[in-house]
Structure formats: C-alpha cells, structure tokens
Chains A and B, each alone.
Chain A
Amino acid sequence: MNRFLLPLGIFLVLSVFLAVGLKLDPREVPSPLIDKPAPPFQLALLQDPGKTLAPGDLKGQVWILNVWASWCVPCLQEHPLLVDLSKQSVVPIYGLNYKDARDDALKWLARHGNPYTLSAMDADGIVSIDYGVYGVPETYVIDKDGVIRFKQVGPVTPKVLEQKILPLVRRLQG
C-alpha cells in the first residue's frame, strides 16, 4: 500500500500544476507600464497629416488609447464594441494606427465605423514599441495625470469592458 502512496502523491501534485498551467494564458504578459506615465509621442493624425496628437494634449481627462490596424483581423472583433462605447460618450477613445497605410486605414474606418476622437499614425511602429505593443489590438486606460492604469492585450471583450475598463474609467473620472 505504502509504495503506491508516493507515486500517487507525485501524480496528484503534477496534475495540480498542469491544471493550473492549462488555465494560464501565456500571452498575458504583465506590463511593466502599468502605473507609469504614458510614453510621450507626437504623431501625425490619420485624417489630417498636417496636425499631430501628443498624450500631453490630453492631460486632465481620462482617455482610452487603442492600438489598431486595418490589416489586423482581431481588431474587427472588438471594433463594434468600441463604436458602441464611443456613441455613449463616456470616455474618449484615441486610436494609434499601427504600421498601416493611410489609404487602407481610412477605408477601413469608412467601412466599419470610426470610434476614435482622433487617430495618430505610427507608421514605423516605433511609438508602439515604447508602449510595449506586441499584439494588435491593444488597449490602454490613461488617467487625468497621463498615467497608464490598465492595459489589455488582444481584443477587448464585452466582459473586460463591463468588468474592468468601465468601472476603472468611472473611478478615475470621479
């Protein structure tokens, strides 16, 4: 009897470890940028290349930064949600257009709706590197002082929006 106990014990411990491992999402890398100031940038606007957007312009309000691209398939998945959110005008959404061609991006917005107050073009992706982007879409919640308070890698789901982003936005605005 005793000699079965040890292998059984090892098996159980191993199963627990593997079960926990199955539930973890390896793509969810904790961002070191949380509670850090949003990296500064100054990028040309998608719709109006003569003008620029800089995070410093948005101080004093809570805003959402959404990294997107017309070639990005999962972006389409979250897009209706963002369009809905923008219609509620709870919080402004600013777009960071990642490594995209202007024409493609404009066409994409015309076709799927434009939830963005403004979109800035990060054509070579350098600014996105500063934001630690590694899988478009990514979404940041930035507070009144320009500090990143939340980051979502991958499409925003209704659950994330309802349970994380909106409560956080309300708290930060309050």
Chain B
Amino acid sequence: MTRITAVLLLALAMPAYSNEAAPAADDPVLEQRVMRLTAELRCLVCQNQSLADSHAELAIDLKNQVRSQMKAGKSDAEIRDYMVARYGDFVLYRPPLKSNTVLLWGGPFVLLAAGALGLGFYLRRRRARLTEGELTSEQRARADALLRAGQKGGTR
C-alpha cells in the first residue's frame, strides 16, 4: 500500500521547469554589436583586456557610452573615431597603418623575408656541399686511416 501511494505521489510530482537565462539587455542585437565593437577597443585601466572583457569602472562607462551612441544611430566607425579622439590610437587593438606603425605592420613580413633569404642561402650552400664529387679510393683510404687515428687519439 505504501509502495503504491509512493508511486502515485511520484507520478504527481511536477517536473521542474527551467527557463533559459534571460538576455542581460533588452535588445540582444544591439548588445551583440556593442560587444563586437568593444572587443576591438582596449581598456586603458587594465591594458591587456578589451573593453568588452573588462569590468573596470571606466570600461563600464565607456561601454555605456558606446551603447548610447549606437542607440543614437552612430556608426561603428564614428564611435571608433570618438574613442581615438580621446584616448589615441592606443585604444585600437588593430592600429591604423601610419608612419609610426609601419614597423609594426611591416616588421613580421620583413622578418619572414629575412628568414626565407637565410634559408635559401643555407640550402644552396648545403646542396653545393652535397654534390661535391665522390671520393677517389685513395682519398677514402686516407680518410679511413684518419678516422681510426681520431678514434684512438682523439684529435680530429
């Protein structure tokens, strides 16, 4: 009897309904745009974090600023300019190509070219060494003798 009531009670138990977490903002599309733009902007308080990631007070203020400007119909480029006018190119994680950032943008390619050049030289020298003529039997005998002497005496 108790078993039956237990089963009945179990059947009565309502499954717990769970809801999906409500989006933090009323406008998810806008919020996504805010996140996308602020992910490219540096937080100046904690410099190795983006504005999107940072919870510094200034970062939150700036995120609000970005949000309200987007609501006012500003384009991403306009908002980026707004930030640069106040904090300089340093806020951009992708700095623009300018005279003082040429090395930053071009440096890796210069290094790559230097590496390729070095590798080319090395391979050419190596090939030249490998294709040098075979040893004559006389040279081989002399080399063997030298090697044996080297193993015993230790001078190369």
Contact = CB atoms under 8 A, between A and B. Distances in A.
B87 interface: yes
Contact of B84 (A32, A126, A131): A32
B87 A132 contact: yes
A32 B61 contact: no
B85 A32 contact: yes
Contacts of A32: 84-89
Nearest to B59: A134
B103 interface: no
A29 B86 contact: no
B119 interface: no
Nearest to A30: B88
Contacts of B85: 32
Nearest to B89: A32
Contacts of A31: 87-88
Contact of A33 (B44, B57, B61, B86): B86
Interface residues of A, number: 18
A30 B57 CA distance: 22
A29 B74 CA distance: 26
Given A99-B57, A129-B61, A129-B65, A135 B44 contact: yes
B90 interface: yes
A10 to B, nearest CB: 12
Nearest to A29: B90
Contact of A129 (B45, B47, B86, B89): B86
B58 interface: yes
- Chain B interface, DSSP helix/strand/loop, else mixed: helix
Interface in A90-139: 99, 124-126, 129-135
B50 to A, nearest CB: 14
A26 interface: yes
Contacts of B84: 32
B62 interface: yes
Contacts of A124: 61
Interface in B56-99: 57-58, 61-62, 65, 84-90
A134 B47 CA distance: 11
Give the interface centre of A27, A99, A129, A133 by most chain B CB atoms within 10 Å: A129
B61 A29 contact: no
B98 to A, nearest CB: 12
A129 B90 contact: no
B115 to A, nearest CB: 12
Interface string A7-24: 000000000000000000
Given A29-B44, A135-B44, A130 B88 contact: no
**Which 6 residue pairs of A and B lie closest in terms of their CB atoms, listed nearest first?**
A134-B44, A132-B86, A32-B88, A29-B90, A132-B87, A125-B61
14 contacts: A26-B47, A29-B90, A30-B88, A31-B88, A32-B87, A32-B89, A124-B61, A125-B58, A126-B65, A129-B61, A131-B86, A132-B87, A133-B58, A135-B44
